[in-house]
């Protein structure tokens, strides 16, 4: 971790990227990939930025959110008990319709 003002910076959340999402990020166009990486890094301090939206899912142990970056969506889960953010997918919208969220959540 870097230092700012002489103090160690401590993040509120630990951010994980599941392997499938990591591969999706690697395949993004360069300028989009950089924006996505910055947004994911920012989840450590603020997993609920103003441009994000909570997705309505029943019977989950965690909150599922999506972050909109132009035509792209970063889908992620927040576990408040573990203080963890799991990035589940990075998809283009349209055509992505969030139909595979249950499958993605099973990988966490």
- In the chain, where the domains are located: 10-105
| E runs forming strands in 1-108 | 3-4, 7-8, 14-17, 52-55, 63-69, 72-79, 84-92
Q: What is the mean pLDDT of residues 25-53?
A: 94
What pLDDT is stored for residue 33 in this prediction? 94
- Specify whether the CB–CB gap between 104 and 88 falls below 8 A: yes
pLDDT exceeds cutoff 50 at 6:
no
Separation CA 47–CA 58 (nearest Å): 20
pLDDT exceeds cutoff 90 at 11:
no
Spacing of C-alpha 47 from chain mean position: 8
CATH class in words for 10-105? alpha beta
What pLDDT is stored for residue 8 in this prediction? 55
């Amino acid at each position: 971790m870097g230092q700012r003002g002489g103090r160690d910076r401590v993040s509120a959340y630990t951010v994980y990227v599941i392997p499938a999402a990591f591969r999706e990020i690697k395949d993004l166009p360069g300028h989009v990939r950089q924006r996505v990486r910055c947004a994911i890094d920012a989840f450590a301090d603020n997993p609920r930025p103003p441009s994000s939206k909570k997705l309505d899912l029943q019977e989950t142990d965690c909150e599922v959110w999506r972050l909109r970056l132009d035509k792209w969506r970063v889908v992620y889960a927040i576990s408040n008990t573990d203080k963890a953010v799991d990035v589940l997918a990075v998809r283009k919208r349209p055509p992505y319709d969030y139909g595979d969220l249950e499958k993605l959540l099973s990988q966490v």
